A and B are shown apart, each in its own frame.
Chain A
Amino acid sequence: MPKSKSAYSIPTKKQKSDTYIFVVWVDNEAGVLARVVGLFSGRGYNIESLAVAEVDAVKNISRITIVTTGTPQVIDQIRLQLTKLVPVHKVAEFKREDKDVIFKEMALFKVVGKRNKIEKCLNACKKFNPVILDETKSSAVIQITALRREIDVMNKKLKPLGLISTSRTGAVAMTRGAKIFN
C-alpha cells in the first residue's frame, strides 16, 4: 500500500452496511428535491432508489421515499441531517427487513414477439399482479408490482422471451395495520 501523505486521517475499520428506507415529508416547493438529493451526494451517502410525489395538495406536502445503504452511524446522520433541512417536516426510517412495513416497486416491461412468447412472459409474471396496459399483435406492455429483487429477477428472465425495454419506479413504502409512520 502506498504511504498516504494527506492532511487527513486514514479510514479505520469499517462497520457493516445495511439497507434502509427513508420516508421524508417535505413542503412541495421549488428546489426541495435538490436539497434532499444534494444532501445525499454532498455527504457521500448512497441512493439506491428514489420516489417522490405530492401526497397532500391542501397542505402542499410531498412524500419522498429513498432507499439507501449505510452503517448505523451513517443512517443516524442521514436522519438528523434531513431533519435539519428547513422544508422537511418529518423523517421516518426503517430497515428493509422490517416486517411491519410494506414496500413496493412498479415496473413496465415491453415485450416484442409472437403471441406464445408474450403468453410465456405473462405467465412468468403471474405472482406479481401483471396487468396488460397495451397490446398489439406483436407486442405488449406489462405492468407488475413487486420487490426490487423480484423485478431484477424478472428483468433477467424475460430477456430471452422478447423483453426490449424496462421502465421502473423507486420503492414506495407503507406501514402494515392501523399504525402510521411517526
Chain B
Amino acid sequence: MPKLLTGAEIVFKCLEDQKVEHIFGYPGGAVLPIYDELKNHPSIKHILVRHEQGAGHAAEGYARSSGKPGVVLVTSGPGATNVVTALTDAYMDSVPLVCISGQVPTHLIGTDAFQECDTTGITRPCTKHNWLVKDINDLSKVIHEAFRVATTGRPGPVLIDIPKDIQFAKTKYKKPNKEKNLNGKSHNKFSQDQIDELVKLLSKAKKPIIYSGGGVINSGPKASQALREFVELTGFPITSTLQGLGAYPGDDNQFLGMLGMHGTYEANNAMHDCDLLINIGARFDDRITGKIDEFSPNSKKVHIDIDPSSINKIIKVDLAIVGDVTSVISKINKTIAKRKNGHSKSNKSNIAKWWEQIEKWREKDSLNFVNSDESIKPQHAVQRLYELTKNKDTYVTTEVGQHQMWAAQHYKFNKPNRWMTSGGLGTMGYGLPAAVGVQIAHPEKLVIDIAGEASVLMTMQEMSTAVQYNLPIKIFILNNQYMGMVRQWQELLHEKNYSESYSEALPDFMKMAEAYGCKGIKAESPADLDDKIQEMIDYDGPVIFDCHVDPNENCFPMIPSGKPHNQMILGPKDQEENKIKGKGKALV
C-alpha cells in the first residue's frame, strides 16, 4: 500500500515538485498544521512578514524580479482579508502568485466560526481562479492546477483555501500531470498570414511607433531580446508603458521614453501623429490613452497580446495577433529576415523624415526641471541615484505617486525584471515589501525602493522583516511631507485647496531606522546628496534614507484635462500659457 500523507505534507510535496524555494507568510490558527510541517522541508525557506499585505507584495516583488511564481501562506479570516490588496494588485499587473490560505474546519464553514470568512467569495474578483478544497483527494491536483493557472497565458494570482481538517486528513500524493487539460484556453493562436500582414504594414509605414508593455517582461528575457532585434531590424522608434520599462534599453537612442500621462513629449506626440502603431504586450490603459476619441487618430493599429480579452477592449485595432510575445516577435523577425534576403531594401529611408520630426520634439527636453542649490529637487535626487547605481545591475521598486513617476522618468533601465512598481492598482505601500521579495530572490544585488514618505508609512512594518533576514534593501524616501500627487492635482484642478494632503506629523525616520535596527541616513542639501547616496550604497545592511526634497515640486510633463496626446503641459515655463480649464479637468 502506498504511503498516506497528510494534507500539510501534500502541500509541501506539491511546492517541492513545483520547485518553490521561498514562501512569504504569517502563521495563525487555521494554518498551524502546515507551519508544523515546515521544519521537515529544508529546501523551502519561509519568510516571516509583519502583515499579510506585506507577504503578498513581497511575493510580487519576488515573482517580477525572478520570473517565478511568488508563493504566499496566510491564515483564515484576517490573514486572508489582509492579502486581498496584494492579490488585486497582482491581478491588475499580471503577476503570478499562488496564495495558500487556511480555513476553519469544513464542518464549521458557514457557522461564523472564529476567524472564518468567505475567502473564496472575497477573492473571486481579484484572482484568476480560486479553490476551496473540501476533499483531501483533490488537494494535490488542485495545487498543481493552481500553479499552472497562475503561470500560463496572462499570468495572475490564484488562491487555494484549505480547511484545517483537510490539512490533517491523509491520502496518497499525486504528482503533477504532464498532460494539461487546457479547457480550450490555448494561447498562441496566431498564423503566418497575420505575421505577413504585419510585415507588409511595417514596410509601408512612414510614421511608425512601437509601444511595448509589461507583456514583454512577463514573456521572459527572450522576449526582450526579440524585441531589441525587432527594433534594430526595423529602425522604428519605441516607447514603453510604465510596466514595460527595461524591456528595451532606456538609454538607447531609438527609445523615446515612457508614454502616457507623465510620459515624454516626444513619445506622446509620436503616438498621436503616427501612421502605424504596434502595441506589444500592453493594454491601452486609461493613463496611456488620454482622451479615447482623439487617441492616435490617423494610425493603423496592431495589437499583440496573449489575452484575447485585451483586444478591442478600449481601442479598436486593425490587426490583432493573439499570442505569446516571444513567439510572435521571433516569428516576425524571422519573416523580416527572410524577406530581406536577396534585396536588402529596408524602409529605414522611408522613416527618415519621421525621425527628424521626433528629434524636433526631443529638443523640448520635456523632462527638464529647474534645479536648485538650496533644496534638493526630487528629479535631481533620482538622477543622482541613477548615476551612482547604474553600473551595479540595480533592482528598483517604488511606491505610488510623484516619486514613482520621477523614478520612471529619470531612472533608465537596461534589462527586464529590474523595475517593480504598482501600475494598475496603484497601491501605496507596495515598494518596501516588494523590495524585501526582490532581495530574497537576488541576495547579492542592490535593491532600492524609491519611495514617498506617505506611501512607505503604509507598510513600514516590513523593515522589521528586512532586519530579521538581514536583507540590505535601501529605502530611498523622497520626503516632501505631502501626498505629492494628491497635492499636485489639488493645485492644478481644485484651486489649491490642499485638503488633507499634508502630513502634519511625520515620524523622525532616523530614529525609526534606529528603532528597527537598521541604518538611517538623512540628506537635506544638494551639496552632500552624492556622498550620502554613496554611503547608502556602501552600507551592508538595510537603510532608510530620508531625502528632504522641495515640497512644492510638480511632476511634468503631464497630459491634462481631457486633452489628447499632442497637448501636454510641459515644465514650469510652459505652464503659464497652458492653463487647465473646464471639462478638461476630468481627465487628470
Chain A interfacial positions (CB closer than 8 Å to B): 3-10, 12-13, 30-31, 34-35, 38, 42, 73, 76-77, 80-81, 83-90
Closest CB of chain A to B500's CB: distance in Å? 16
Binary flags per residue of B176-193, CB closer than 8 Å to A gives 1, else 0: 000000011100000000
Q: A-facing mask of B488-520, CB < 8 A → 1, else 0?
A: 010001100000000000000000000000000
11 of the cross-chain contacts (CB-CB < 8 Å) are A8-B587, A9-B286, A9-B290, A10-B562, A30-B134, A38-B125, A83-B185, A83-B308, A84-B307, A84-B309, A86-B149
What residue in chain B is nearest A12 (Cβ atoms)?
B293
Across the interface, which residues of B come within 8 angstroms of A89, CB to CB? 183-184
State which of B125, B185, B290 has its C-beta within 8 Å of the C-beta of A42: B125
For the complex, give the distance between the alpha carbons of A31 and B119 in Å. 12
B550 to chain A, nearest CB (A): 24
| Chain B hits for A3, CB < 8 A | 582-583, 585-586
Residues B586 and A10 in contact, CB atoms below 8 Å apart: yes
Instruction: List residues of chain A with CB within 8 A of the CB of B128.
Output: 86
B121 touches A34 (CB 8 A): yes
Residues of A within 8 A of B129 (CB): 85-86
Contact check: which of B120, B316, B587 meets A31 at CB < 8 Å? Answer: B120
Chain B neighbourhood of A76, CB < 8 A = 312
- Chain B: minimal CB distance from A84 (Å): 6
B132 at the interface (CB under 8 A from A): yes
Which residues of A sit under 8 angstroms from B185, Cβ to Cβ?
Answer: 83-84
CB-nearest residue of chain B relative to A35? B124
Cβ of B291 within 8 Å of any chain A Cβ, yes or no, is yes
Q: Which residues of A contact B360 (CB under 8 A)?
A: none
Q: Which residues of B contact A88 (CB under 8 A)?
A: 183
Interface residues of B in 187-232 (CB under 8 A from A): none
Beyond A4-B585, A73-B313, A88-B183, 12 extra complex contacts between A and B, CB < 8 Å: A3-B583, A3-B586, A4-B586, A5-B493, A10-B583, A10-B587, A38-B125, A42-B125, A76-B312, A81-B309, A83-B185, A87-B183
Task: Answer whether residue B292 sits at the interface, using C-beta atoms and an 8 A cutoff.
Answer: yes
Distance from A15 Cβ to chain B, minimum over Cβ atoms (Å): 11
Q: Do A80 and B149 have beta carbons less than 8 Å apart?
A: no
Bound CA–CA A85/B183 (angstroms): 10
Are A80 and B308 in contact, CB atoms less than 8 angstroms apart? yes
Instruction: Considering the complex, give the chain A residue whose CB is closest to the CB of B292.
Output: A12
The complex places the Cα of A30 from the Cα of B308 at a distance, in Å, of 27
Q: Which residues of B contact A31 (CB under 8 A)?
A: 120-121, 124, 132
- A34, B124: Cβ atoms under 8 Å? yes
Instruction: List the interface of chain B (C-beta within 8 A of A).
Output: 120-121, 124-125, 128-129, 132, 134, 149, 183-185, 286, 290-293, 307-309, 311-313, 316, 489, 493-494, 562, 582-583, 585-588
Taken together as a complex, chains A and B put the C-alpha atoms of A146 and B184 apart, in Å, by: 34
A9 touches B124 (CB 8 A): no
Question: Which residues of chain B have C-beta atoms less than 8 A from A81's C-beta?
Answer: 309
| Residues on A with beta carbons closer than 8 Å to the beta carbon of B316 | 73
Chain A positions within 8 Å of B134 at CB level? 30
Give the distance in Å from the alpha carbon of A149 to the alpha carbon of B253 in the complex: 64
Q: What's the nearest-Cβ distance from chain A to residue B402, in Å?
A: 15
Query: By the criterion CB–CB under 8 Å, are B586 and A8 in contact?
Result: yes
Closest to A7 in B: B588
| A119 CA to B284 CA, complexed, in Å | 61
Is the pair A30, B132 in contact by a Cβ cutoff of 8 Å?
A: yes
Shortest distance between the CB of B285 and any CB in chain A (Å): 12
Asked whether B489 lies within 8 Å of A7 as measured between CB atoms, the reply is yes
Within 8 Å CB of A13, what residues of B?
A: 293
Q: Give the distance in Å from the alpha carbon of A5 to the alpha carbon of B582 in the complex.
A: 9
Is there contact, CB below 8 Å, between A5 and B586? yes
Q: A42 to B88, alpha carbons, bound, how many Å?
A: 13
Q: Tell me how far the C-beta of A44 lies from the nearest C-beta in chain B, rounded to whole angstroms.
A: 12
Tell me, in angstroms, the Cα distance from A12 to B562 when the chains sit together.
11
Question: In the complex, what distance in Å separates the CA atom of A8 from the CA atom of B311?
Answer: 21
Closest to A43 in B: B125
Given contacts A9-B586, A31-B120, A77-B309, contact A86 B183 (CB under 8 A): yes
Contact A8 B286 (CB under 8 A): yes
CA distance A132 to B309 in the complex (A): 47
| Chain B contacts for A87, CB-based, 8 A | 183
Closest chain A CB from B324 CB (angstroms): 16
In the complex, A9 Cα to B120 Cα: how many Å? 33
Residue of B nearest to A1 (CB): B583
Most buried by B among A6, A31, A77, A86: A86
Closest to A88 in B: B183
Chain B CB within 10 A, most for which of A31, A84, A85: A84
Chain B: CB-nearest residue to A5: B585
Q: Which residues of B contact A30 (CB under 8 A)?
A: 132, 134
CA–CA, A31 to B127, complex, Å? 14
Chain B residues whose CB sits within 8 angstroms of the CB of A34 once the complex forms: 121, 124
Alpha-carbon distance between A181 and B329 when the two chains are bound, in angstroms:
35
Contact B291–A9 (Cβ < 8 Å): yes
- The answer on a CB contact under 8 Å between B124 and A38 is yes
In order of increasing CB-CB distance, the 5 nearest A-B pairs are A80-B309, A4-B586, A86-B129, A10-B586, A42-B125
Q: A142–B183 Cα gap in the complex (Å)?
A: 42
